[in-house]
Amino acid sequence: MQEKSVCDEEVYKVIFDKHSKVVRNFIYYKCGDMDQAEDIVQDAFIKLWKNCQKVTFKKARSFVLKVAQNAFYNETAHKKVVLKYNASQSFASKVDGQSPEYLLEEKEFMHKLQKSIAELPEKQREVFLLSRKDKKTYREIAEIIGLSQKAVERRMHLALLELRKKIGDII
Amino acid sequence: MEENKYTDDFLAKWASGNLSNKEQEEFEKSKEHEHFKAILDGTDLLQVSDYDSEALYARIRQGISREKNKKVIPLVPKWVYGVAASIALLLGIAYVFNSDLEYSTTFGEQMAIVLPDGSEVILNAKSQLEHKKRNWENNREISLQGEAYFKVNKGATFTVNTKKGSVIVLGTEFTVNAGADYFQVICYEGEVSVHSNDVTEIIGEGEAVRMFNGSFEQWNMEDVSPQWLQGESSFTNAPLLQVIKTLEKQFGIHVDHKKVAIDGLRFTGSFSHANVRLALRTVFEPMEIKFTFADKNTVVLVQE
């Protein structure tokens, strides 16, 4: 069967829709700057178009990821990855009838969690967030990062231990 | 928490719901489970900022079209180039066969030209020569402005046309020096016939003729080829104006002679093309004319 050509604009758009978000988040989890991440994604996809005759449909995602990652490593300025916290959605909305003390604790907890995630080593953070926020399986993450699934699982494990340690016994 | 209790991917398996039932049950009973559960639940509440994928895609499209514009996009199919080239070639051939060939030299420059029949021409400084390219063998006609040395092969009549007159030869060596107001022919070999103002003069080897004040002046000389081929300009009883013009052409200078009455002055001698000051001295010192450089390219003459 003829492989779909990346040079075909419809195919190109499909690739973009399918993969651009995870590429963006992946870079964001590394550098913590969304504008920078989107710029990198933009350049990576332009590069994909320029090389559309050389890159097969199947390889398109790993090509974009590689280009984006290289671009990221070439840019030195990194910020902290601080995810936003929307207080209106809270544990309280999940569990009814919580006391005001609990809500206060929750706020403190969330603050610590944000800080702890920001302080995670980059390698653990990208695995943790790709898993929890992008709902990627360990196998998919392994493909994105270019590691074995086993190594990804180990990083996930370490990330959770690290977060647990940083947050401490708040509950 | 006792970390050693877990394998190194235990929490990963737990987080993705891949523990065995037994492991899961056991872990849920522990206090640690609550802490880890809180971390996952808390993380669920965190937000990765929104994503306007359409806007990003639009930017990428823009970037791509900018890249595209850098490339040369063929506007016309390739065969058009072939047709265009053919037409250009045909026009070119027509042009070449009908066109005049033109050669010109600038200040201080000389140029050797071989004509289609093998005849040689050497153009002196600031001169221009033109001839038809087509049918040269039967129509050897040249127009000249300035000075040139001719070594003409035997063949059909060879004509040099100038503003002031023409020279007709049948194979010989000669120079023609023609400007707006002077006309001079020197013959080094063979015979040439010189026409100007309805007057015809035939001169032979070692003879020279110039048109001056409406009449021919004739003299003899011993050179076998023009001095300017050896980097010198030589004159025999030449009007000073002609010498000045030659100086101007060789050195690319302007000679201002308004303050000197040069009419009637004649110069016999030669100057080298190597050095402008030396040449000026050679010409003007014997005539008791002083020269000064007003600037790099302008010489002013003053009576001593």
Residues B233-259 have pLDDT tens digits of 888 888 888 899 889 988 889 999 888
Among B210, B227, B244, the domain-final residue is: B227
Contacts of B38 in chain A (CB under 8 A): 109, 170-171
Concatenate the DSSP letters of all residues of A62-128 into one string: HHHHHHHHHHHHH---------EE-TTSSHHHHSSS--HHHHHHHHHHHHHHHHHHHHS-HHHHHHH
Is B103 within a domain?
A: no
B150 and B203, same domain (yes or no): yes
The rounded mean pLDDT for chain B is 84
Lookup: tokens for B277: 């000051």
Is B2 within a domain?
A: no
Among B180, B202, B227, the domain-final residue is: B227
- Is the CB of residue B2 less than 8 Å away from at least one CB of chain A? no
B130 and B221, same domain (yes or no): yes
Query: Would you say residue B97 has pLDDT above 70?
Result: no
Q: Looking at residue A154, what is its pLDDT?
A: 94
B94 and B33, same domain (yes or no): yes
Helix boundaries (H) for chain B? 10-15, 21-29, 31-45, 53-70, 78-98, 240-251, 276-284
Query: Would you say residue B95 has pLDDT above 80?
Result: no
From the CA of A76, how many Å to the nearest CA of chain B?
22
- Kind of pairing between the strands at B199-203 and B232-239: unpaired
From the CA of A63, how many Å to the nearest CA of chain B?
16
Is B158 within a domain?
A: yes
- Is the CB of residue B6 less than 8 Å away from at least one CB of chain A? yes
pLDDT category at B61 given cuts 50, 70, 90 is: confident
pTM: 0.46
B214 and B236, same domain (yes or no): no
Contacts of B32 in chain A (CB under 8 A): 164
Contact A20 B1 (CB under 8 A): no
Q: Which residues of chain A have pLDDT under 70?
A: 1-3, 75-80, 85-103, 170-171
Q: Give the residue from B16, B40, B60, B61 with the most A CB atoms within 10 Å of its CB, the best one to mutate.
A: B60
Residues A112-159 have pLDDT tens digits of 888 899 889 989 999 999 999 989 999 999 988 888 999 999 999 999
Among B65, B98, B131, the domain-final residue is: B98
Q: Is the ipTM of this complex over 0.85?
A: no
- Is the CB of residue B54 less than 8 Å away from at least one CB of chain A? no
Residues B145-181 have pLDDT tens digits of 999 999 888 888 889 999 888 898 877 889 898 887 7
Contact A160 B39 (CB under 8 A): yes
Q: Looking at residue A91, what is its pLDDT?
A: 56
Q: Looking at residue B198, what is its pLDDT?
A: 80
From the CA of B54, how many Å to the nearest CA of chain A?
9
Q: Give the residue from A33, A79, A164 with the most B CB atoms within 10 Å of its CB, the best one to mutate.
A: A164
- Report the domain count for chain B: 3
Contact A113 B42 (CB under 8 A): yes
Q: How far is Cα A58 from Cα B294, in angstroms, rounded to an integer?
A: 80
B38 and B72, same domain (yes or no): yes
**Where are the extended beta strands (E) located within chain B?**
46-47, 100-104, 111-114, 120-123, 128-132, 140-151, 158-161, 166-169, 173-178, 183-189, 192-196, 199-203, 207-212, 215-220, 232-239, 254-256, 266-272, 289-295, 298-303
Q: Looking at residue B2, what is its pLDDT?
A: 46
Q: Looking at residue A157, what is its pLDDT?
A: 94
pLDDT category at B4 given cuts 50, 70, 90 is: low
Q: Looking at residue B200, what is its pLDDT?
A: 84
Look at residues B233, B246, B223, B105 and name the one whose alpha carbon lies nearest to residue B174. Answer: B223
Domain harbouring B255, CATH code:
3.55.50.30
B183 and B294, same domain (yes or no): no
Percent of chain B with pLDDT over 90: 8
Name which of A46, A129, A167 is nearest B39 (Cβ-Cβ).
Answer: A167
From the CA of B21, how many Å to the nearest CA of chain A?
19
- Is the CB of residue B60 less than 8 Å away from at least one CB of chain A? yes
Interacting residues of B264 by C-beta distance below 8 A, sequence separation 6+: none
Q: Looking at residue A170, what is its pLDDT?
A: 62
Residues B29-41 have pLDDT tens digits of 888 888 898 889 8
Domains of chain A, by residue range, sit at 1-75
- Kind of pairing between the strands at B128-132 and B120-123: unpaired
Contacts of B11 in chain A (CB under 8 A): 156-157, 160-161
Contact B63 A46 (CB under 8 A): yes
Classify the C-alpha dihedral A23-A24-A30-A31 as positive or negative. positive
Range of the domain at B245: 231-303
Q: Looking at residue B31, what is its pLDDT?
A: 83
End-to-end CA distance of chain A: 57
Contacts of A132 in chain B (CB under 8 A): 15, 40, 43-44
Name which of A84, A89, A164 is nearest B35 (Cβ-Cβ).
Answer: A164
Is B3 within a domain?
A: no
Residues B108-143 have pLDDT tens digits of 888 888 888 888 899 998 899 988 877 777 888 899
Contacts of A153 in chain B (CB under 8 A): 9, 12-13
B17 and B81, same domain (yes or no): yes
B112 and B179, same domain (yes or no): yes
